[in-house]
Amino acid sequence: MLNLSKIQAITLDLDDTLWPVWPTIARAEEALQAWLTEHAPATARLCAQGEMKKQIRAEINHRHASQAHDLTFLRREAIRESLLRAGDSPDFADAAFEVFFTERQNVVLYEGVELALSRLATRYPLVGLSNGNADVFRTAAGPYFKAAVSARVCGVAKPDMRIFQTAADQLDLPMDAVLHLGDDATTDVWGALNAGMQAVWINTQGHDWPHDSAQPLTVHHLAEVCDYLLT
């Protein structure tokens, strides 16, 4: 159970906790493909081949395994490699990535999330804590956040306890004074608990708890956390 009297701040995962990530990525991919069609048509034709695009992404991920925490770097390098293979200028990579990245921020919050964030933000500072490359301040959730910590900037990804420690350090709080909320049972919840934070599992998909440890407080929607913390 949570120790409510200790909680002074909340960190939140972003993708699949506040919004569904894959529809967002799909729209960003479509925007990128449209840009390539206009500016680098040979690359657009190459990327239209789904298996080839997957192969290039897999090769880049393998080649730069030490950068697995930096999805921005990996995405940009995959675009650059696609341009090279298609015979287009690799100098297009930065502009092409920015098209993808801009649309990647165009998220659609789950129903009720904005109201829940506004309620939580009246009592607790909120900090984004994500392995992804969404910039929470460029999304509809941005006005409710005080800060954000990303795997890309931190240099490690959840469930590594160092990323949770970085968030607590930014808040200038001990670990057990921070509550982490996220949808992934391992990277979010197990990781936060292992790092010394409190945690709630926002289990939107109804998954079974996969660990031997006791299942923490589990809800289906962020609004339930508000009801638990603010009543």
- Domains of the chain: which residue ranges? 4-19+110-230, 22-104
**CATH architecture classification, 4-19+110-230:** 3-Layer(aba) Sandwich (3.40)
Percent of the chain with pLDDT strictly greater than 90: 97
CA 18 to each of CA 69, 107, 142, 152: distance values in angstroms, whole numbers, following the listed order: 20, 9, 11, 19
Amino acid at 175: M
- What are 41-88's pLDDT values in tens digits? 999 999 998 899 999 999 999 999 999 999 999 999 999 999 999 999
What kind of fold does domain 22-104 have according to CATH? Four Helix Bundle (Hemerythrin (Met), subunit A) (1.20.120)
pLDDT band at 89 (very low <50, low <70, confident <90, very high): very high
Q: Please compute, for residue 214, the number of CA atoms within 13 A of its CA located in the half-sphere on the CB side.
A: 5
pLDDT band at 200 (very low <50, low <70, confident <90, very high): very high
pLDDT band at 153 (very low <50, low <70, confident <90, very high): very high
The pLDDT of residue 1 = 79
Average pLDDT over residues 147-164: 97
Q: Is 209 left (phi over 0), alpha (psi -120 to 50) or beta?
A: beta
Mean of the per-residue pLDDT values for the chain? 96
The strand pairing partners of 181, in sequence order, are 12, 200
